[in-house]
Structure 1
Amino acid sequence: MTVVIDTHTHAISPDKQRYPLAPVGGHQSEWSAQRPVSFEGLLTSMDEAGIDRAVVVQASTVYGNDNSYVVEAVRSHPGRFAGVFSVDVLASDAVTQMQRWLDAGLSGLRLFTTGSTMPGQAGWLDDERSFPVWEYAQRHHVSICLQMTAQGIPALLNMLAHFPEIRVLLDHLARPDLAGGPPYEAAAPLFSLASHQGVYLKLTNRTIAEAARGASTPAAFFPRVLDAFGAHRIAWGSNFPAAEGTLPQLLTDARESLSMLPADAREAIFGRTASTIYPALAA
């Protein structure tokens, strides 16, 4: 039976004293205030959806760089969860902080350069102060997932030139503009990354919605992405509970939107690729 892995979930503790709010940028996200889900609730939703394992990604718009609740989730259910942490990559002790969270059992790093509370694209992605973190990640095979927009792709290309062996995962496919439809000229920056074998794509509900906007259709866009990157570099993530809807519905929607792809490609996107990005999921 095919293993289903969700590469993008968030967990919010009901205990604000033990896990105080410290959102990046000073603003808590609306979704985390309106529909928070604890890791216990996340497990229940995973069981309802038939999802075997999930990556709990640090909720930067709730806890900033304090990844303690992600650590608790992974330690409580190591067979079901892997964890992705955030650090201030421009800080002088960034590598030390990175080692701290890896030693605590987390598996990957997330850089938050845009989001609902931080519109636009932050300019620090290729800041030289972050080079020690990228060098450490490259040397120790730690994947970096990037919450970014297509405007950040030139900076990412700069980092890929410096760190050619790095493995990066683009949240929401770096939010390409697909409304113009085929041949997707506005998404050219995304496709320019296809030749970089260390660039992986995280395909989420946001991607699915964008693929159905304007002149675009999922049937036109997703085979094009598959052809450019290969299923072995594409992984599904629900974005639950930041995404509205139940986890079973989000998985159903994703499966329907990718139904035109070959079965072996869908098996990779909904499971196998995730274990390449985060080997802890395969343990």
Structure 2
Amino acid sequence: MIDAHQHFWRISRGDYSWMDESVARIRRDILPADLAPLAEAAGVSGTVLVQAAPTVEETLFMLSLAQETPLVRGVVGWIDLEGDVSGQLDHIAHPALRGIRPMLQDIEDTEWVLREEVVTGLRQVAAAGLRADALIVPRHFAVITELARRVPELPIVVDHCAKPVFDGGDPGQAWRDGMAALAAHPQISCKLSGLANEYGPGWSAAALRPVFDHVLACFGPQRIMWGSDWPVLELAGDYAGWAACAQEMAADLPKASRDAIFGGTAASFYGL
């Protein structure tokens, strides 16, 4: 079982600008020793460590943790896609590096990722054998669809099912249409992660099943990977509860499909 999306951080590093009072509960040092017992209890034997700050320095910090933490199978880092991409990739080259994640949700310009220099940078990322995590919200559906058309050689995984907005408990037709459009591109996969935080109080397998069912219908199990989004998950729940919830939603699927969602897809996509 692989957790395809988790974070570590050391607050004194000083580049987690999003950590304000709204996330006070997780504004503390969170390191491999904190995750180890949770992962073991859930049956997780490997993880993908994902960036939480838009700096190369944080990527180097994560790679140093991966070097000494067998649980971490791969790292998704950050580079300035408008800068010297090849130089930055050389600087952070490491066997554990598996992908790059621009923090698109925090960039005001929705179409930033389609800027010529950014697209050129992502082509260099793909040429280096890396992938892209897409940290997006529904306003990005059209641009990620276009990015996939322009850079078909770049494997992309959509984080957190593109953060659906649960209006009255339903993710809405616009979200459904957007996810279907993304899934039409075979290079795009989807992370079953972050949904507890997006739904908020009262989340459950029953409440989240409309999202799960639609993502499954669009992408199929071979392009879906489970992730905890821990420790951000702690703002809405706990590791064991979310793992159990996801497994409950997938309980009626064939074993091969469950194996893909809870490990195989992540291993294949990231080359773990």
TM above 0.5, yes or no, is yes
Indicate yes or no: 2:268 matched with 1:276.
yes
In structure 1, the residue matched to 2:141 is: 153
Equivalent position SS for 1:6: strand
In structure 2, the residue matched to 1:112 is: 103
In structure 2, the residue matched to 1:128 is: 116
Q: Which amino acid aligns with 2:8?
A: A
Instruction: Give the alignment's TM-score, normalised by structure 2.
Output: 0.85
- Given the superposition, is the C-alpha separation of residues 203 and 90 from structure 1 closer, same or farther in structure 2, using an over 3 Å criterion? same
In structure 1, the residue matched to 2:244 is: 252
Kindly indicate whether the alpha-carbon contact (under 8 Å) linking 1:45 and 1:246 is maintained by their aligned counterparts in 2. Answer: no
- 1:209, distance to aligned residue in structure 2 (A): 5.4
Q: CA RMSD in A?
A: 2.8
Instruction: Give the alignment's TM-score, normalised by structure 1.
Output: 0.82
In structure 1, the residue matched to 2:230 is: 240
Kindly indicate whether the alpha-carbon contact (under 8 Å) linking 1:121 and 1:151 is maintained by their aligned counterparts in 2. Answer: no
Equivalent position SS for 2:114: coil
- 1:109, distance to aligned residue in structure 2 (A): 0.8
Unaligned runs of 5+ in 2: none
In structure 2, the residue matched to 1:262 is: 254
Q: Which amino acid aligns with 1:71?
A: L
- 1:243, distance to aligned residue in structure 2 (A): 0.9
Q: Distance in 2 between matches of 1:55 and 1:130?
A: 24
- Match among 187, 192, 197 for residue 186 of structure 2: 197
- Given the superposition, is the C-alpha separation of residues 250 and 8 from structure 1 closer, same or farther in structure 2, using an over 3 Å criterion? same
More helix by share: 2
Indicate yes or no: 2:34 matched with 1:37.
no
Kindly indicate whether the alpha-carbon contact (under 8 Å) linking 2:99 and 2:130 is maintained by their aligned counterparts in 1. Answer: yes
- Match among 80, 86, 94 for residue 85 of structure 2: 94
Q: Which amino acid aligns with 2:134?
A: L
Q: Which amino acid aligns with 1:96?
A: G
- Given the superposition, is the C-alpha separation of residues 129 and 173 from structure 1 closer, same or farther in structure 2, using an over 3 Å criterion? same
- Given the superposition, is the C-alpha separation of residues 179 and 94 from structure 1 closer, same or farther in structure 2, using an over 3 Å criterion? same
Equivalent position SS for 2:101: strand
Q: Which amino acid aligns with 1:6?
A: D
- Given the superposition, is the C-alpha separation of residues 260 and 120 from structure 1 closer, same or farther in structure 2, using an over 3 Å criterion? farther
Q: Distance in 2 between matches of 1:57 and 1:130?
A: 20
Q: Distance in 2 between matches of 1:100 and 1:32?
A: 34
- Given the superposition, is the C-alpha separation of residues 252 and 223 from structure 1 closer, same or farther in structure 2, using an over 3 Å criterion? same
Q: Which amino acid aligns with 1:237?
A: G
Indicate yes or no: 2:132 matched with 1:139.
no
Q: Distance in 1 between matches of 2:104 and 2:179?
A: 17
- 1:85, distance to aligned residue in structure 2 (A): 0.4
In structure 1, the residue matched to 2:77 is: 85
Q: Distance in 2 between matches of 1:104 and 1:152?
A: 31
Kindly indicate whether the alpha-carbon contact (under 8 Å) linking 1:12 and 1:39 is maintained by their aligned counterparts in 2. Answer: no
Q: Distance in 1 between matches of 2:31 and 2:71?
A: 17
- Given the superposition, is the C-alpha separation of residues 246 and 223 from structure 1 closer, same or farther in structure 2, using an over 3 Å criterion? closer
Kindly indicate whether the alpha-carbon contact (under 8 Å) linking 1:12 and 1:32 is maintained by their aligned counterparts in 2. Answer: no
- Match among 1, 8, 12 for residue 11 of structure 1: 8
